[in-house]
Amino acid sequence: MPKERPIIVKAFTVTPDTTVGDAIDLLQKHGVRCMPVVDADRKLVGWFSFMQVFKFMLPAAVTMEGGLSHIDFAFDTAPGAAKRLGKLQDRTVAEVMLQDCPRLNADTPTWEMLRLLMQHGSPLPVVDAGSEHFLGIVSDQSVLESLEEVLKDLQAEGQV
């Protein structure tokens, strides 16, 4: 790929049958907040993050449409939240992952990448347009680093 493509190909991934406990351990071990979920053929099937874990930990009254907008009236709830986390540990990533996650293609134009990063946050998975084969991720940092390299090239050529 041309150097202006900010795709990080060595991204950490999990499989749908990974336990939530193991996936959380991987997030913490690698210092990342989310990971693509890929099947045995490396096809992107979902997105796993701390946000998905938190969503399953919260009471249904909070996560349902039109539910409670805050629960600051509940005090000393750490034991209850910890118990909910414990119940999630042995479930599979497939049970809690975001299935319909935003994604980029390898040929997504830079402006569109920036728009999607602004809309959905960073990072975003990159897939082959035809096969949904996972290629890597694009992060806000990788885009900025790539654009800085392009800018240096433009400056060296006297175009800026």
pLDDT tens digits, residue range 33-78? Answer: 999 999 999 999 999 999 999 988 887 777 778 877 777 666 667 8
pLDDT for position 75: 62
Confidence of residue 2 (pLDDT cuts 50, 70, 90): very low
Residue with tokens 């907040």: 33
Q: How many angstroms separate the CA atoms of 48 and 14, rounded?
A: 8
**Sequence-separated contacts (24+) of 99-103 with Cβ below 8 Å:** 99/45, 99/46, 101/44, 101/46, 101/47, 101/125, 103/44, 103/127
Q: What is the DSSP string of the chain?
A: --TT---B-S---B-TTSBHHHHHHHHHHHT-SEEEEE-TT-BEEEEEEHHHHHHHHS-HHHHSTT--S--TT--S-HHHHHHHHHHHTTSBHHHHSBSS---EETT--HHHHHHHHHHH-S-EEEE-TTT-BEEEEE-HHHHHHHHHHHHHHHHHTT--
**What's the CATH code, domain 20-156?**
3.10.580.10
Output the six-digit token pair for 109: 């134009």
pLDDT exceeds 60 at position 32: yes
pTM above 0.95, yes or no: no
